[in-house]
A and B are shown apart, each in its own frame.
Chain A
């Protein structure tokens, strides 16, 4: 590779935590800065170039006015990477998609509700074609670096498509179901090294669903372990709303638990 590829970071509806994790990755792997040329990165620099080959987009598309800038990035960049759960899945912003948006706006913005043009939140891939995604809320530092390496090698980044339970068992964690709680691990895409179960917390699914999740039977498992219909729905809603609603629209994945 001759010239160093220029990369840029953009943010839409998000907390910028994934970009902060990028800063963290750069501290962990300073060699990365020798391999690429960062031209726009609000978290770490004030200059703003707009000549770039790889664009990382953080955040979901949550307003009609987001669409034009997202499309403009696609026009310019050779490669677009969705960075983090909001960009990859719509993230927690999509929780509102199951509610009346007028009500949500009034709840959040009070008497200023009319000023905001929000609509159901969507992942970036619902607006433009994305070439790769780095899942997670926030992203995993090592996965970020792995993805950049593959892009530099000219190879398409690959996400693990097995469930979290695989990583969890390979680390020999005691399953949370045996510790009296519940977990979405069997239907969630691995890649975070099962960090939440490793620290005793259930997986909430921030990396999204595996390609063929058996949601129906996981719901039975959740019911058997004492979750009510509402609790199960809430668990499936935090990060998975967009994916689950898409499955429902396609006629799979009844949102109500099996019992």
Chain B
């Protein structure tokens, strides 16, 4: 399907139209930041937002989610798989790459029924980033500044209108009924090309080496002193992993009613940065030191995911860098590892 033009003046009509068939969520301003939430009109959200506190991953993999209900007296178990049909408006391309990774992870081996059910009911409308979102972001270095194939509809801001590229039937289904939408004309193609060529120079390359070297850089950095230095500073607050679009660890727990006869099983996001994360039955904790946990986190982001799923575990969104109160960031960490390997004599402690 050829790209379409959606005039910005029609955004409000579009949202109202979508709301007759879907829950519509988009980045809403909150205390100087943005948070994805349900919207009823175009005035409630901002598609030019820098970044969101939590990634839109939360619609596919909620922070807290019921898994099943049970009765202990009647030996009954019933899965809770539910959720509204949702359109997520304004997913940045880095977050799209993260969802591509989650799609693979959640469908591989034991497939995650809850994730897949949400995924099937969700239409992703991505949006092209035209300038860097935050000082912590480094998408260009990670190769995530263009959307991967998994989008349903992809928007690019042309000033007074959006160029809308259709990526799937689900995406195409969002447009009929919007009278103001029209097919691309030649002048639109020229406008889109200009916007796209102007955007790239605005983004800095922040890694001091090519990202394809990252997995091997980590392989040879397992015993680096840097992990100890990070471990000393780290507060083990888990903000870095809780805001990360590619993290997917969770904890499962049961809650019983006061009758003690029925209850539910639920899951909640968990984090490798927390003290108890690696505690196994019997009480042994195989990752007590914060240094070991930091190393684990960065290995997950820069190597393990690539080994297992062929995609990088860090998409360069910069959320963890913005959240960390002691300024531990992927860019500084990866660059420092690189420097220590390549100019060992000149190595300096990572700046704070």
Contacts and interface: CB of A to CB of B under 8 A. Distances in A.
Contacts of B127: none
Interface in A8-33: 29, 31-32
Contact of B275 (A152, A177, A210): A210
Interface string B17-38: 0000000000000111101000
27 contacts: A35-B258, A145-B258, A149-B256, A162-B271, A162-B274, A163-B235, A165-B239, A165-B242, A166-B238, A169-B243, A170-B242, A170-B268, A170-B269, A171-B63, A172-B35, A172-B53, A172-B58, A173-B53, A174-B30, A174-B31, A174-B53, A177-B325, A178-B32, A212-B275, A214-B235, A217-B233, A221-B325
Most chain B beta-carbon neighbours within 10 Å: one of A31, A169, A170:
A169
B341 to A, nearest CB: 27
A146 to B, nearest CB: 8
B180 interface: no
Interface in B201-258: 232-239, 242-243, 256, 258
Contacts of A212: 236, 275
Interface in A175-221: 175, 177-179, 185-187, 210-212, 214, 217-218, 220-221
Nearest to A171: B63
Interface of B: 30-33, 35, 53-54, 58, 63-64, 232-239, 242-243, 256, 258-260, 268-269, 271, 274-276, 290, 322-323, 325-326
Contacts of B63: 170-172
B237 A163 contact: yes
Contacts of B54: 169, 172
Given A166-B242, A172-B35, A178-B33, A218 B260 contact: no
B260 A149 contact: yes
A153 B260 contact: yes
Contact of A165 (B32, B35, B238, B276): B238
A153 B325 contact: no
A161 interface: yes
Contacts of A175: 239, 323
Contacts of A171: 63
Given A214-B234, A214-B236, A174 B33 contact: yes
Given A163-B238, A172-B54, A214-B234, A153 B256 contact: yes
A25 to B, nearest CB: 11
A35 B276 CA distance: 32
Contacts of A185: 237
B235 A186 contact: yes
Nearest to B256: A149
Given A149-B260, A166-B242, A217-B232, A161 B275 contact: yes
B275 A162 contact: yes
Contacts of B275: 161-162, 210-212
Contacts of A145: 258
B271 A166 contact: yes
A32 B53 CA distance: 38
A35 B33 CA distance: 46
B338 to A, nearest CB: 25
Contact of A218 (B32, B35, B235, B274): B235
Nearest to B30: A174
B239 A169 contact: yes
Contacts of B243: 169
B15 to A, nearest CB: 21
A170 B64 contact: yes
Contacts of B276: 161-162
A239 to B, nearest CB: 18
5 closest A-B pairs by CB? A165-B237, A186-B237, A169-B242, A186-B235, A174-B31
Contacts of B269: 170
B33 A217 contact: no
Given A162-B275, A170-B64, 15 more contacts: A29-B258, A35-B258, A149-B258, A165-B235, A169-B238, A172-B53, A172-B58, A174-B33, A175-B323, A178-B33, A210-B236, A214-B236, A214-B290, A217-B233, A221-B325
Nearest to B271: A166
A31 B63 CA distance: 29
Nearest to A150: B256
B236 A163 contact: yes
A238 B184 CA distance: 64
A259 to B, nearest CB: 13
Interface in A125-180: 145, 149, 152-153, 161-163, 165-166, 169-175, 177-179
A217 B323 CA distance: 15
A210 B235 CA distance: 11
A210 B239 CA distance: 15
A76 to B, nearest CB: 26
A105 B149 CA distance: 72
Nearest to A153: B260
A217 B256 CA distance: 39
A47 to B, nearest CB: 24
A35 B147 CA distance: 56
A35 B257 CA distance: 11
Contacts of A31: 258-259
